[in-house]
């Protein structure tokens, strides 16, 4: 397919490179996308290999789209419409329950997911921690590159600390208010508070649809903007 594609081709790829080890499959997928972008063909590539969004792809005409979702009768359901942006949440657990997998099995899967991937998600939240230099660059360029890498490392560390402080503060405040609201409403089950980093081009995860949310934006002037989307208790 890659060798036969021209600028007049229409290329449709569903779940690119899904049949191999995830990390290398992701990189092969990224290289294919770069190749098709360079050819200039028209195409659509679908994937659950979310690591492709972290690759330093050299593309000019590639745009990111995601399937949107909405809340219907308290459940998150797809709209079958494409929207601009990136979505990293596949609703796998919700889909598994809807298709009849035992609830205890899905709950165990969620436990394994949190225990195994929590550190990985925190590392992704910390952002870039360095840069790559051209091996043939001059000494001056190498020095500038090392300085840039050092600055990026410091900035990433500072940003990571800020994110953790904001996360802890917002969680503490929300937890306090939720306990009080549920006490007054005589409700025993207090909903879990989840924090999620959303990048500039990424859509909020479908799980936030129909849920009360507090959002914190880091502005270019390094000030924080805090807002909320609230739903009343039943």
Domain limits, the chain: 1-62, 128-187
| 223 SS3 class | coil
Long-range contacts of 23-27 (CB under 8 A, 24+ apart): 23/51, 25/49, 26/51, 26/52, 26/55, 27/55
Determine the length of the chain.
234
Report the C-alpha gap between 172 and 168 in whole angstroms.
6
Asked if 74 and 210 count as a contact pair (C-beta separation under 8 A), the reply is: yes
pLDDT of the chain along its 234 residues, tens only? 999 999 999 999 999 998 889 899 999 999 999 999 999 999 999 998 989 998 999 999 999 999 888 877 767 778 888 889 888 877 888 888 888 899 899 889 888 887 777 555 554 544 444 333 333 333 333 333 443 444 444 445 556 677 778 778 888 888 887 778 777 777 766 667 777 777 666 777 777 777 777 778 777 666 778 887 776 544
Report the C-alpha gap between 145 and 150 in whole angstroms.
9
Which residues 6+ apart lie within 8 Å of 166 measured at CB?
A: 216, 224
């Amino acid at each position: 397919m890659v060798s036969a594609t021209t600028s007049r081709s229409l290329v449709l790829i569903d779940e690119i490179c899904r049949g191999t080890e995830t990390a290398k499959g992701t990189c092969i997928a990224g290289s294919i996308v770069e190749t098709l972008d360079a050819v200039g063909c028209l195409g659509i590539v679908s994937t659950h290999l979310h690591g492709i969004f972290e690759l330093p792809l050299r593309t000019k005409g590639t745009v990111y789209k995601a399937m949107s979702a909405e809340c219907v009768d308290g459940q998150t359901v797809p709209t079958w419409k494409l929207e601009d942006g990136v979505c990293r949440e596949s609703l796998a657990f919700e889909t598994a329950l809807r298709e009849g997998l035992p609830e205890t099995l899905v709950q165990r899967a969620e436990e394994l997911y949190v225990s195994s991937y929590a550190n990985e998600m925190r590392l992704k939240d910390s952002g870039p921690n360095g840069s790559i230099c051209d091996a043939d660059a001059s000494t001056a360029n190498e020095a500038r590159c090392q300085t840039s890498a050092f600055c990026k490392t410091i900035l990433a560390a500072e940003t990571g600390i800020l994110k953790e402080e904001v996360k802890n503060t917002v969680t503490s405040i929300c937890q306090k208010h939720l306990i009080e609201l549920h006490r007054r409403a005589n409700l025993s089950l207090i909903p879990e508070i989840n924090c999620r980093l959303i990048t500039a081009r990424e859509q909020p995860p479908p799980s936030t649809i129909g849920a009360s949310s507090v959002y914190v934006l880091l502005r270019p002037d390094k000030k924080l903007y805090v807002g909320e989307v609230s739903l009343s208790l039943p």
